[in-house]
Structure 1
């Protein structure tokens, strides 16, 4: 039951907290506190959840992030929206658990930054072999992703694996856009007049192989969402539309005759524009330009809400204009166009005063036969109420609606600007994750990589071998115990530091009540357990430094070097010794 509830809340089958074995009636003793912890999170019992969380023996950071994701999804549930108090409490719990994971990671990173970075990509068997990185990315836990440990790990992957390859992909993409533009602008003819050029074949091969790579990445996602709407991000939906239009343009180009070829040219041009705009994804990795691209995307959603409100006034005033100026119009699509034409362009300052005041009789006619067959335009009927309507419409649209849109843009800008660095780090993580899975070959040579991966996949299935290493997901069995010890130590340090801080504030408060100067008030002596903890910390650090020193000494001994000794007193010969 708990598994089903969590899958429904998180929207992912792969994020279930318990495996098939733990779903049985017999719950293993080591998983009791995990069951109770998740129950407390679902019930929003924060104190109980903390109690059970401290009783676990490992995976503290993963558990805290998992709880943060659960609380966040519960707070976003439409049913919870009816109860404002519960929604606020759940959102506060989400922030609390994320802060808890962040604090423990800080202690762990201070103690051993190498193991802390390794923990981020290590599979957590108790949570269906997911990783800390996967939970943070999937549920947009931006504060944790912005931690120094996460960012340094990403830097190592980015600089060590895909930085140079991404530069090559960017150059290849820009080169192909130039070829695509030259082909559409200078060499797009109907097939009866001229056969497809080499540039067109290059563009088709590039688009086909690139779309194949996108499909491969989509099928390679193991965390299939329970809700299909969570499959599609903005850029995924954008690319689906872009490649669909490209396929449509190629089909129209091959089937339309010379008389109807304009439609193929129009779709080709629209597709080229979408490909050019798609290059904005490359800016997301930039710390300065990336947040601005995110702002543009968020402002597009603001425009959607503005258009919905504006459409009400547009149709309202448009119908009044049409009914008073051109009564008894012919039904059809042209009538719909006439209704929205004037009020839409009036938003940008085109007032059509000649229509409202009345056109010159020489440029229009009242004869129905002439304006229906298109010989002359129909003369509008002059009505003083139209001038008043125009004044009201301009006040509503230019002063009220446009300023509302500007205020919405300002709010979006401020909200993104306040979290500028966190938003950039989160989207940078997603971009690095995407390009890590991409092939280093440029399209259309990427088809070689596809064939290679198919062969390797078949070989892995036949010989029952595991797939190649993934820097975003590793299984570190030899160091799992060491990670667990370090994580327990970090939790202990975090909890004790909180206790010491509370004790310090309590001591100062009592001193102020008694009228003593707080500078003379000292904290109680450190407990024996805390002294042992500090001593263990120092011993652990000394052992690790000693191991690294011994390793360096062995490397020096294993390599032979020539030592050249020069006699500065004018000796007859120099001597060379091997050490």
Structure 2
């Protein structure tokens, strides 16, 4: 039967439609003629998930781009939200590059979909939520969604166990910033964030990219965090703070279950630190003077105003502080100080001999003031006075420490010691508490007390300073008692205080290129020794107890009432301790010295009533010799050689990083003497410092007006940094 060609073609199309594979969910949504174009993304959102194929995002993005309708911008923002949740870095980058903006109203959905923990108390949780809960439980409950499920109560209202949904005094973005402040060891900034405050979207504000970066750091999204970082303002400072946040998060993941999370967070932190170093190098090579000024320029990120250089030092970023960009800037501060400028650096002296020429007016009178008010001059004068004090203190301890019968018995050396101690107490404690913070009344940011305490405790020079003050104050109090009973104890305390003063004098060598690394090595070796000494103490105690139990069986006065110096604990420790250094004490262990010394007795009443005159005689036991043989074998052949091997390994590690470590400590000394005066001349400068503090109260809120790197230049180098990273991964 003849059939029209058009009819044949229609039959083929009909048969093809019958055997055609059903459309996917996405195509069904797009081809649905009844679908309202304004609700496209609301319907399409149901088909998206973190495991969705890239084709889904491609179809949705192309469909929205090709159609012109009223809610096109909202649909693009919703697609951007889903791409961020699904960690589709390529689509996020493309949409941000084409001008798609993130909607602030989507932050709550973003946090709800990515930061969830069902009824988690963070007691034994392997999720990242436990880290934030350890930082600040109150702020964490304002960020994390712990909804187990919404249930209707008897009144018909929807109830939930999630505190963030029940009571929300702060917006989710502000809560994220509060968490960043906590992770950076800053106290809550009450003047920056107020309950119910809506985040403004203005050009002067930080923008939503800092809030998106905070979310990416909380969830440890490595690639997408790099995208948001490149879009932030002041990428250099932001990278320093992001690295510090991740490092502090990693330090909280210390349990055995969190070792993998610890490694991931630490690697992410190092990635941001590498970005900082890369931007430092590229900016320093291109515009060196502006790059150096940028390192000291304060800017505000996450509600905290700080400079990149200060933030890197506070969080021990050794590679950043040791970079030539900062070190050269520090040298300009070290040798010169423009006391009437907002940023006290200049090129008047580039090295030590230039500074010497400026001091003696060999290079003109204009540079004389900068040299004499420089931190180096304060440093030199301070340690000249300290050296003179140590010499006079030594003479005082050796010759003049007698019982005071009148004020004439107090010599000149002792008066100078008291004057210096009073001035040093003012400079170390009174000035930082009462004077220096008053020059920052307009600031709303400050470190937490716990952070300040850690900085104090883990700094060996601060510990030496505090111990020397406590010892000398105790010695002065006992000297005022003016009793012969305390004379020997007073002499011991003054001697110990003098020893601590000598140790404090070593700090002046930190700034020297040769002695600085050596001082660092000594400190690291001492730290390694203190860790190992606990093993030695265990061996010494167990061996000493065995010695004493067999040499002096049934001993009664372990804690002699005659004095602390007669307690038996010193006898227990003495023999095994000195045996570590090779002294065998075989005669004493076998009791052969009982007759030789003539000061021991077997009469209990004599050695108990006269512990300083008579000692209990040793009762020989062959087991003591056996114990001594095994103890000497373990300590001299095993433990001593083990600690030598540890010292060798540690020395090689420190040797590699000694230059960076010395530069890091040198930075701390320079910045310290930039804000302090030499002791005891600081007492003369006290009225001037108070006057300067009061005059600066009206201008501290102004931003530094210095020439630094433009934001466009930072944007360019940030993009280059990400490009180099992508090429390395390939």
Matches of residues 338-349 of structure 1 in structure 2 within 5 Å?
338-349=571-582
The 3-state SS of whatever aligns with 2:618 is coil
CA RMSD in angstroms comes to 2.6
Residue number in structure 2 paired with 1:61: 236
In the TM superposition, residue 368 of structure 1 has moved relative to its aligned partner by: 2.9
Residue number in structure 2 paired with 1:566: none
Contact 1:80 1:86 in 2 (8 A): no
1:12 to 183, 186, 196: 186
Contact 2:254 2:262 in 1 (8 A): no
Residue number in structure 1 paired with 2:646: 408
Contact 2:427 2:679 in 1 (8 A): no
2:218 to 15, 24, 42: 42
Instruction: Indicate the structure (1 or 2) with the bigger Cα radius of gyration.
Output: 2
1:32 to 208, 220, 224: 208
> CA distance change for structure 1 residues 256 and 390 in 2, over 3 Å: closer, same or farther?
same
Alpha-carbon distance between aligned partners in 2 of 1:387 and 1:119, rounded to the nearest angstrom: 70
> CA distance change for structure 1 residues 377 and 188 in 2, over 3 Å: closer, same or farther?
closer
Moved more, 81-90 or 140-149: 81-90
In the TM superposition, residue 82 of structure 1 has moved relative to its aligned partner by: 3.2
The 3-state SS of whatever aligns with 1:71 is helix
> CA distance change for structure 1 residues 112 and 17 in 2, over 3 Å: closer, same or farther?
farther
2:505 to 279, 283, 293: 279
Contact 1:7 1:226 in 2 (8 A): no
Give per-residue Cα distances to partners, 1:247-303, cap 9 Å, x unaligned: 111111111323432221211111111101110111111222212212222222222
> CA distance change for structure 1 residues 476 and 373 in 2, over 3 Å: closer, same or farther?
closer
Contact 1:46 1:93 in 2 (8 A): yes
Alpha-carbon distance between aligned partners in 1 of 2:277 and 2:693, rounded to the nearest angstrom: 37
Answer yes or no: is 1:119 the counterpart of 2:273.
no
Alpha-carbon distance between aligned partners in 2 of 1:433 and 1:163, rounded to the nearest angstrom: 11
In the TM superposition, residue 157 of structure 1 has moved relative to its aligned partner by: 0.5
The structure in which a higher percent of residues are helix is: 1
In the TM superposition, residue 326 of structure 1 has moved relative to its aligned partner by: 0.6
Residue number in structure 2 paired with 1:264: 490
TM-score, normalised via structure 1 length: 0.79
Matches of residues 33-432 of structure 1 in structure 2 within 5 Å?
33-56=209-232, 58-79=233-254, 82-127=257-302, 128-160=304-336, 161-192=374-405, 195-216=409-430, 218-219=432-433, 220=436, 223-227=446-450, 229-232=453-456, 233-333=459-559, 334-359=567-592, 362=595, 363=598, 364-374=600-610, 376-432=614-670
> CA distance change for structure 1 residues 371 and 126 in 2, over 3 Å: closer, same or farther?
closer
Residue number in structure 2 paired with 1:484: 711
Alpha-carbon distance between aligned partners in 1 of 2:593 and 2:450, rounded to the nearest angstrom: 61
> CA distance change for structure 1 residues 495 and 368 in 2, over 3 Å: closer, same or farther?
closer
Alpha-carbon distance between aligned partners in 2 of 1:27 and 1:403, rounded to the nearest angstrom: 65
| Uncovered stretches (5+) of structure 1, i.e. residues with no partner | 468-473, 507-579
> CA distance change for structure 1 residues 100 and 475 in 2, over 3 Å: closer, same or farther?
same
The 3-state SS of whatever aligns with 2:680 is coil
| Uncovered stretches (5+) of structure 2, i.e. residues with no partner | 1-174, 337-373, 438-444, 560-566
Alpha-carbon distance between aligned partners in 1 of 2:706 and 2:515, rounded to the nearest angstrom: 42
Contact 1:3 1:17 in 2 (8 A): no
In the TM superposition, residue 7 of structure 1 has moved relative to its aligned partner by: 3.4
In the TM superposition, residue 154 of structure 1 has moved relative to its aligned partner by: 0.5
The 3-state SS of whatever aligns with 1:260 is helix
TM-score, normalised via structure 2 length: 0.63
Give per-residue Cα distances to partners, 1:62-119, cap 9 Å, x unaligned: 1111111011111111546532211111111111101011111222112111110110
Alpha-carbon distance between aligned partners in 2 of 1:245 and 1:383, rounded to the nearest angstrom: 44
Alpha-carbon distance between aligned partners in 2 of 1:339 and 1:42, rounded to the nearest angstrom: 54
> CA distance change for structure 1 residues 378 and 226 in 2, over 3 Å: closer, same or farther?
closer
> CA distance change for structure 1 residues 33 and 152 in 2, over 3 Å: closer, same or farther?
same
Moved more, 143-152 or 341-350: 341-350
> CA distance change for structure 1 residues 277 and 177 in 2, over 3 Å: closer, same or farther?
same
Moved more, 324-333 or 204-213: 324-333
